[in-house]
Amino acid sequence: MNNKKYLILSDIHGNVSAFNSVLEDCKNDEFEGIIILGDCIDYGMRSNDIIESIIKLGAGEWKNKILVNIWGNHEKLVVDKDLERLSSDRGRVMAKYTAGNLTDASVEYINTKMNKAGFEEVTIEGFKFLAVHGSMQDNFWKSIMPGELRGDYKEYDFVLSGHSHYPHCFAEFYDVDDPENRNKKAVTFINPGSVGQPRNHNPMAQYAVLSLPSKRVELRAVEYDIEYEQSLFPDEIDAFYKTRLTRGV
């Protein structure tokens, strides 16, 4: 079987060390396409550098390979100044800091090269995909979680999501009129986890690789220089955002 590989990234959150470690970890893989599920910016101190890196990759080795690149809630927060959705003052301070430091080039890229809807449908290798930052309930703010699935996703073969910062891979079987497949439709749900701010008690940078047509999914994790990223945080930003990187929470 001649499989093709697809790189799935989400929630990079301005963490260049984590992003670069992911790129190094998968440098020997040949990818047919790259899917980015939002939240490239905020929380971390190098949002501009992440956007610049994606621009350079898109013009170089990733040229014509970025199949999906959608907004997450933090693109919406920072660019649209939708700060009232945040539940904490420290989160608003963080978002305002990021907004105040974004370059014009970063804002232009976010506004013109990323899908503002927070979701996108795409067909790859004959399989129908839904890529969404959050879920059908809310493209930006509601997560897809195993055992708590809400919404009818049966028209898709794969549902790729981010936002929760928890990696997952599971199948849901929907009732359909298809006797050859015992009247069931299998939908594979993939969350690659967070590159730049994992919350599953594993501080390593996390991402996923999907192989088609075999449907093989690899959830990967790689170490990165956490202490260096922490050293970049100024005193005006709540220490919570740097200390959580050590714990992966």
Rounded mean pLDDT, 127-153: 94
Residue 125 to residue 153: CA distance in whole angstroms:
19
pTM flag (> 0.85): yes
Residue whose pair of structure tokens reads 């919350």 in the numeric block = 199
What is the CB neighbour count within 10 angstroms for residue 35? Answer: 27
Whole-number average pLDDT of the chain: 97
Instruction: Look at residue 84 in the predicted model and tell me its pLDDT.
Output: 84
Q: Which helix (H) or strand (E) holds 161?
A: strand 158-161
* pLDDT-derived band at 150, boundaries 50, 70, 90: confident
Q: Report the candidate in 188, 158, 206, 178 with the shortest Cα–Cα distance to residue 18.
A: 206
Instruction: Look at residue 152 in the predicted model and tell me its pLDDT.
Output: 85
- Stronger pLDDT, 152 or 104, i.e. the higher one: 104
Burial class (CB in 10 A: 0-12, 13-18, 19+), 52: middle
Q: Report the candidate in 221, 219, 217 with the shortest Cα–Cα distance to residue 3.
A: 217
Q: Which helix (H) or strand (E) holds 84?
A: none
With a cut of 90, say whether residue 249 has pLDDT above it.
Answer: yes
With a cut of 80, say whether residue 1 has pLDDT above it.
Answer: no
Among 49-53, 83-87, 156-160, 223-227, where is mean pLDDT lowest?
A: 83-87
- What residue ranges do the domains of the chain occupy? 4-120+192-247
Q: Which helix (H) or strand (E) holds 237?
A: none
Q: Is 4-120+192-247 assigned to CATH 3.60.21.10?
A: yes
